[in-house]
Structure 1
Amino acid sequence: METRKHFMHCQIAGFSYHEGPLVFNELTVGTELTLVTEPDNKYDPNAVAVYYGNTKLGYLPADKNNIVHLLLEMGYDIFETRIQRIDPATHPENQIHIIIYIKRNEANRDMLEYCM
């Protein structure tokens, strides 16, 4: 049985407006990232920030954050997020693409069977 399942992939929105450019040279394909909800975000109550360690890289795009935000707010620790592609030659908003997996384990087995 798979230990994880592909959930989605996207670019990091707002990459050039946060600390991403400061750590760009440290980022590599496969680097693990962390997703953190920002329910008090004045622009988007469903905002999900993307972190590399303590460095905020940006956000999940608003059109892709609803389900991730909901599950994180409900306390599910089910996401594994990694850098999928780095393209330094393109516009900063498209330089970093990430992939989000759902981790398969006993704690979320029932939820996964229901959703997938």
Structure 2
Amino acid sequence: MRFLRCSTLTLLWLSLCWHAGAGETVRVLVQSSPLAGSQYYAVAELWSQIKPGDRLTLVREPDNRHDRKAIRVEWNGRPLGYVPRAENRAVAQAIDAGEKLEARVSRMREDPNPWRRVEFEVFLVL
């Protein structure tokens, strides 16, 4: 099964590269997630400034005492929260392997539940 999964990903990568013209950037959606822990960071303070489509920075925290796979999410250098622990393994492995990832705000909504306020997407850049 592992071979099949690797082969499928390899074929997808080759297909994307073949369809992309020389010098053209291809972005593959890796995951879409809610922002974890936003109630403890600058989201409330920056709410009126953050817009869907804004770029986010993913900062790996291998020494985080709560989660060795932790990935902090920042907007313009300001911490907003984290990639949820249940969803951070693949992104942590990609960052650790030197893969080029991009993240952006995909959705914002007023909601009393902080897990529903900000959603973001992570892309693998080929």
| Aligned twin of 2:3 | none
Look up the SS of the partner of 1:69 in the other structure.
helix
Q: 1:82 aligns with which of 104, 110, 114?
A: 104
| Aligned twin of 2:76 | 53
| Structure 1, unpaired ranges of 5+ | 105-116
- Offset from partner CA, 1:65-95 (integer Å, 9 cap, x none): 011112212322x211111111113422210
**TM-score of the aligned structures, taking structure 2 as reference length:** 0.76
Within-5 A mapping of 1:19-34:
19-34=42-57
**8 Å contact from structure 1 (residues 46, 69) kept in 2:** yes
Larger radius of gyration: 2
Q: Runs of 4+ in structure 1 displaced over 4 angstroms?
A: none
Look up the SS of the partner of 1:68 in the other structure.
helix
| Aligned twin of 1:108 | none
What amino acid sits opposite 1:54 in the alignment? Answer: G
- The count of aligned residue pairs is 103
Structure 1 residue 95 corresponds to structure 2 residue 117: yes
Q: 1:42 aligns with which of 56, 65, 69?
A: 65
- Quote the sequence identity (%): 26
What amino acid sits opposite 1:24 in the alignment? Answer: W
**TM-score of the aligned structures, taking structure 1 as reference length:** 0.82
Note the aligned Cα RMSD (angstroms).
1.3
